[in-house]
Amino acid sequence: MTFNIIGSILPEVTIAVAICIVILVNSLLRNASVTLIHSLVLFFLSFALFLSFVSLELPDSNIFDGHYVIDAFGTNLKIIALIAAILVHLGSFKSKQNIKNEIFLIQLFATLGVMILCSAHNLLTIYLGLETLTLSMYGIVASNRNSIEATESAMKFFILGAIASAIFLYGVSILYGVTGTLSLDLIKDSILLDTLEMRIAVAFMACGIIFKFGAFPFHSWVPDSYQGSNTTAAIYISSVPKIGAFALISRLFLDSMNTMSDFWSILILSAGLLSIIIGNLIALVQMNFRRMLAYSAIGHIGFILLSFSIVNTDGIGASMTYLIMYLIMTIAAFALIESIASEDHQHIELGDLKGLSKSHPLIAFMLLFCMFSMVGIPPFIGFYAKWIVLSELVNNGMIWFALIGIIMSVIAAYYYLRVVWFMYFENNDQAIGNNGILNAQSITSIMVSAMLLLIGLYPNPIIQYIRSIISSFLLID
């Protein structure tokens, strides 16, 4: 019995073991090189990924008295999270850069939090996963200890995050008061009446979820923490935690509180719509590259939430497709920028990109892929993401929201095109950054960007894969 339980959570156990080993290595070998730690982390992440693939074969089961559920949906999300974490590690690693070893450790903690969220099936476990993730994210943002900006943004993030967690917890306690249970299974079975208390509980929990996504109106931490921290941190917080947030909203709202979907879908819909509008409009005036990407991420998250609010298999599938495409695009963009940023030049302003096509032709070309993908121009994956969401919106009679979304993406095209404009249409004698030596990091960034085109040319497998995940998730219930 015990063995079976351990057997089904082996990926999580692997990450936990990795955390212990990294702590030990760090404290025993005072001068442990970054490369060593990095290889260890990479090995354990890959091993956990392998184990997750193996555990796809396991039958669905509830363990720890229904606190934890092993199903295809959760395991697939873990696989996606682990792949994202591996790409983030590869894409942010720079041998010469003076990275503190702790950041890898904290990232492992955050990844563990995301994995717990993927499987949590009780509000207590959910909160456990959520806080493991959130606390690690504060650490990640603050890891750039010598920078005042990083400390400031970590402080802001911490205060806002604490408030959001408190609100979420308050919502949970109200829900507990109404239903008398914390188990998602029981909540699902109990007949939820659309009362005022329930609405307050749902609204409070929605605040916590929207905060985790970094969508309007709880988006203010996003630009600060992207800009303040170093790129290694930014690339992580922009990607992996969103998978946790997606798992949370699917398990909590979609699965267990489906009877309340009329109410929460409106909350999610308005948050999504306003994120698209606000994020893209504010991004127009940003001249710092990471800050611009932060606002653009708010816009992308808006699309994810917008299609989530459709609340049917196709809508959720579209939402998840967008999420995965967003992860690839954002990791590619950050990794490319990271690969040209030198140690003393972490804050890349858009003006610094001038003449990049001359100094780093390959990186510039790949960044061009990223930008056109984010605009939503085929054949890059960003187009398929937008098209699937629009398709489902039109299909469900929400054509006006589709029109707003698409007009905002035309407006957004301007600031993405500005990056291409600076890279290709302007000249600059003093090009920034290193000499474009090919290392593991730039190779990863180039490979991920090439995926933007390759998946775009034949998106069939990924669309089928997501559909199978979502339909298995909604069939079980």
Partner 1 sequence: MILDLMIWSPVIVGLILLLIGKNATSLSYWLSLTTSLLVFGMSMYALSMFKTDQVGIQFELIAPWIERFNINYHLGIDGISFPLILLTTFITPIVILTARTSNKINLHQYLASFMILEGLMIGVFSSLDAFLFYVFWEAMLIPMFIIIGIWGGENRVYATIKFFLYTFLGSVFMLIAIIYLYISTGSYSIFDFYNLDLSRMEQILIFLAFLFAFAVKIPMWPVHTWLPDAHVEAPTGGSVILAAILLKMGGYGLLRFSLPITPAASNELSMLMVVLSLIAIIYIGMVALSQTDMKKLIAYSSVAHMGFVTLGTFVVFLNHENASIENMNIAISGAMIQMISHGLISGALFLCIGVMYDRIHSREINDYGGVALAMPRFAGLMVFFALANAALPGTSGFVGEVLIILASLKVNFWIALLSGTTLVIGAAYTLWMIKRVIFGSITNEKISNVQDTTAVEFISLIILAFMVLALGVYPEPLMKLMYITLNDLSQLVFAGVGL
Instruction: Name the segment binding partner 1 (CB under 8 A); options: 89-97, 186-194, 263-271, 417-425.
Output: 417-425
How many residues belong to the site for partner 1 (CB under 8 A)?
Answer: 33
Nearest distance in Å: CB 80, partner 1: 19
Residues 235, 272 contacting (CB under 8 angstroms): no
Four-residue CA torsion sign, 347, 139, 112, 310: negative
285 binds partner 1 (CB under 8 A): no
Out of 31, 146, 430, 460, point to the residue binding partner 1 (CB under 8 A): 460
403 binds partner 1 (CB under 8 A): yes
387 binds partner 1 (CB under 8 A): yes
Q: What are the start-end ranges of the E strands in 351-404?
A: none
Q: Please say which residue, 159 or 403, places its beta carbon nearer to partner 1.
A: 403
Q: Please say which residue, 101 or 391, places its beta carbon nearer to partner 1.
A: 391
379 binds partner 1 (CB under 8 A): yes
- Which pairs from 341-344 meet CB under 8 Å and 24+ separation? 341/231, 341/432, 341/433, 342/432, 342/433, 342/434, 343/96, 343/97, 343/98
Q: What are phi and psi of 349, to 5 degrees?
A: -85, 160
7 binds partner 1 (CB under 8 A): no
407 binds partner 1 (CB under 8 A): yes
421 binds partner 1 (CB under 8 A): yes
Out of 425, 438, 450, 477, point to the residue binding partner 1 (CB under 8 A): 425
User: What does the buried/exposed string (b/e) look like for 74-103 if buried means 16 or more CB atoms within 10 Å of the residue's CB?
Assistant: bbbbbbbbbbbbbbbbbbbbbeebebebbb
Q: Please say which residue, 5 or 457, places its beta carbon nearer to partner 1.
A: 457
458 binds partner 1 (CB under 8 A): yes
Q: Please say which residue, 22 or 466, places its beta carbon nearer to partner 1.
A: 466
Nearest distance in Å: CB 312, partner 1: 14
Nearest distance in Å: CB 353, partner 1: 14
Residues 219-278 within binding reach of partner 1 (CB under 8 A): none
Out of 413, 440, 443, 474, point to the residue binding partner 1 (CB under 8 A): 413
Structure tokens, 398: 């929400």
Q: Please say which residue, 195 or 468, places its beta carbon nearer to partner 1.
A: 468
Q: Please say which residue, 221 or 415, places its beta carbon nearer to partner 1.
A: 415
Q: Please say which residue, 243 or 402, places its beta carbon nearer to partner 1.
A: 402
Could you count the other beta carbons within 10 Å of the beta carbon of residue 166?
Answer: 13
Nearest distance in Å: CB 270, partner 1: 22
377 binds partner 1 (CB under 8 A): yes
Residues 405, 306 contacting (CB under 8 angstroms): yes
Q: Please say which residue, 4 or 427, places its beta carbon nearer to partner 1.
A: 427
459 binds partner 1 (CB under 8 A): yes
Nearest distance in Å: CB 409, partner 1: 7
- Name the nearest CA neighbour of 434 among 141, 95, 36: 95
Q: Please say which residue, 158 or 372, places its beta carbon nearer to partner 1.
A: 372
Q: Please say which residue, 332 or 375, places its beta carbon nearer to partner 1.
A: 375
- Measured CA to CA, the distance from residue 91 to residue 370 in angstroms comes to 15
Nearest distance in Å: CB 470, partner 1: 11
- Measured CA to CA, the distance from residue 463 to residue 224 in angstroms comes to 34
Q: Please say which residue, 115 or 323, places its beta carbon nearer to partner 1.
A: 323
429 binds partner 1 (CB under 8 A): no
Four-residue CA torsion sign, 377, 289, 39, 44: negative
Residues 213, 242 contacting (CB under 8 angstroms): yes
365 binds partner 1 (CB under 8 A): yes
Give the burial class of 436: count Cβ atoms within 10 A of its Cβ; 0-12 exposed, 13-18 middle, 19 or more buried: middle
- Measured CA to CA, the distance from residue 233 to residue 215 in angstroms comes to 19
27 binds partner 1 (CB under 8 A): no
AA letter at 129? G
Nearest distance in Å: CB 376, partner 1: 9
Q: What are phi and psi of 180, to 5 degrees?
A: 75, 15
476: DSSP letter: H
Nearest distance in Å: CB 276, partner 1: 14
DSSP class per residue in 201-245: HHHHHHHHHHHHHT-TTS-THHHHHHHHS-HHHHHHHTTHHHHHH
- Measured CA to CA, the distance from residue 465 to residue 305 in angstroms comes to 20
Residues contributing to the site for partner 1 (CB under 8 A) = 361, 365, 372, 375, 377-379, 383, 387, 390-391, 394-395, 399, 402-403, 406-407, 409-410, 413-414, 417, 420-421, 424-425, 458-460, 463-464, 467
